[in-house]
Structure 1
Amino acid sequence: MKILFCFVLLTYTSADLIGQPRNNKEATLKPISTCCDIPELGDPKPLAECSNPKLPGPCNDVQCVFEKSGFLVDKSTLNKETYKAHLRQWAEKHKDWSAAVERAIEDCVDKNLRQYLDIPCTAYDVFTCTSIAMLKKCPASSWKC
């Protein structure tokens, strides 16, 4: 998942903006995702298994991590209870993120949202939605801009 998150950040952020030092007194048009330091959401074992080699495309690596983590019943069905449990267990280790996790569950697990990637990919849809929901509730302690 960390790989996907980095991929999303790199996709939306130009190299020029990444390389510039931050000055909190200057205006910026960086994507807001660069301002919130979201800790890794995935467990190390599935991330490692799906990273060597990294699978091509925006869906395949996330799909792999979701499958190996037990977050999918089948390729297109989220195992909602397992994913909720994972997020809440993660929030136990990252107390500042409890509100963000609950927002992600409400927006992304309890609803069936589509992110409209060119190909249908439930894992991508859920992960992208989760990232956005958590960004919306980024705790002050993780805000970098």
Structure 2
Amino acid sequence: MSAELQQVLKVWERTRSNSPIYDFLLSEVEIYDAEKGVVRARLQVGPRQLNSKGSLHGAFSASVTDWAGGMAIASYGLDSTGVSTDIHVSFLSGATDGDWIEIEGRANKVGKSLAFTTVSISKKSESGLTLVAQGSHTKYVRTR
């Protein structure tokens, strides 16, 4: 297991225990890969992640954008992943109960006070991955 993955898992466990919403929405997420600036995870969609129409909820996608961006920042060795200053999510297609989604968070730049991240949420199928949502997230971080 890489040092980056160990760091991300440590930060995730602390974050999860202090954040009821993350624990509720992401209790079954599997973070399976991390390198400096990139985190990859997967989750099988269940009722907790769905809206009233039976499709992946927009609030879930926004929460994942926040969460995965933070985990990508943690891959830089930071214990604190900052606070949100801006978040944007584009919804491109849907996912439903039982679908497997792949989540990739990237910290594009981690500066002295701001970190800029992008997150993709994709649905797995026999033909490959279909992008479901794509987000960008800016966080205030204190690295020094």
TM-score, normalization by structure 1: 0.27
Task: Report which of the two structures shows the higher radius of gyration computed on alpha carbons.
Answer: 1
Of Structure 1 and Structure 2, the greater helix share is in 1
Of Structure 1 and Structure 2, the greater strand share is in 2
